Amino acid sequence: MSRAQRWVAAQLWRASGRPVTDRELLYDGATGLRIVTFHETPPEQLERLRRIVDWCGTRFPMASPADVDGLVAGRWRTGPDRVLLTFDDGYESNFEAARWLTRIGVSAIFFVVPSLIDRTNQEYLRFHEQFGVKAYIPSKRAGARGLSTSQIREMVAMGHRIAAHNFAHRDLGLLRDQAAIRYEVSNAVEKVGELTGAPCNDFAIAFGQPENVSEEAATYLLEHCPRVYSCHRGLNVPGKTPRFLLRHACEPDHPLAFTRICLEGGADRRVADAARTMSHRVGPLPTAS
């Protein structure tokens, strides 16, 4: 949809009461965890982030990384929907976002491509070329470069979680060879552990749609990563939605009205088939005890 079409859709979905009717249709009226993901946050996008987070704070309790741990472990506390913030790729523009969130008392998960840390895009490409791997550049913005190791450690000290987001940002849907999958998954997880000095148990799939993870990669992730995150929207509800957690990507070109209706659940129906596909492949979240 175009920007204008998304704005119109947001008005129609709100007027028709879609957030309420779809909660009954998709989740049997249950509440859960809504996970939001952002990517780069240069100055022109940082203000947009602030507006979205400020709006969320007036409508939902803000979740912490510990909340997702409980959800995946079957220890979800019932109550109103909560919203968890995440960021993908690990570009240095995320550092100011992390500082601002700390100032307002919100902790987030930053999924980094660890081979991008301390490197420019070109240095990142050359690093993988020496292993015969053609890496994908997540951001084409001029001057974009990865976070530094010192910034990563400062973000951990702020109370944020640093997690893994592939090693060369390749599409896992195209990888079936175990060596290639290990390169993308295990290298990323191990390197994040080295950066933070703590085990990494969270992994976000690059591109994040069901077609972006092959059966072989899904099996590998289930065996090696306690918490896996996709990137298609939906409310995470124990026993009803996929073990690979649903996330809504807040894109810079989406009107705020569209982002808001998505966070309220009014657009979940449009991508419900993707959630069902993923549930069939990897199983549902455990039912809360």
Annotated domain spans of the chain? 42-76+91-123+137-162, 234-240+249-282
pTM: predicted TM-score of the whole model, two decimal places: 0.97
Per-residue pLDDT of the chain (289 residues; tens, 9 = 90+): 788 999 998 999 999 999 999 999 999 999 999 999 999 999 989 999 999 999 999 999 999 999 999 999 999 988 999 999 999 999 999 999 999 999 999 999 999 999 999 999 999 999 999 999 999 999 988 889 999 999 999 999 999 999 999 999 999 999 999 999 999 999 999 999 999 999 999 999 999 999 999 999 999 999 999 999 999 999 999 999 999 999 999 998 899 999 999 999 999 999 999 999 999 999 999 997 6
Crossing angle between the packed helical segments 272-282 and 215-224, to the nearest 10 degrees: 70
Q: How does strand 82-89 pair with strand 33-38?
A: parallel
Structure token digits, residue 35: 């996970």
pLDDT of residue 280: 94
Distance of CA 236 to CAs 23, 64, 142, 230, 239, Å? 12, 14, 36, 11, 9
Secondary structure (H, E, C), 219-243: HHHHHHCCEEECCCCCEECCCCCEC
| Residue 237: partners with Cβ closer than 8 Å, 6 or more residues away | 27, 30, 31, 32, 285
Distance of CA 173 to CAs 78, 205, 211, 212, 230, Å? 34, 10, 6, 4, 12
- Is residue 23 within 8 A of residue 233, CB to CB? The reply is no
Bridge partner list, 36: 85, 248
Q: How does strand 227-229 pair with strand 33-38?
A: unpaired
pLDDT of residue 289: 67
Distance of CA 255 to CAs 41, 52, 260, Å? 17, 11, 9
Structure token digits, residue 30: 């249950």
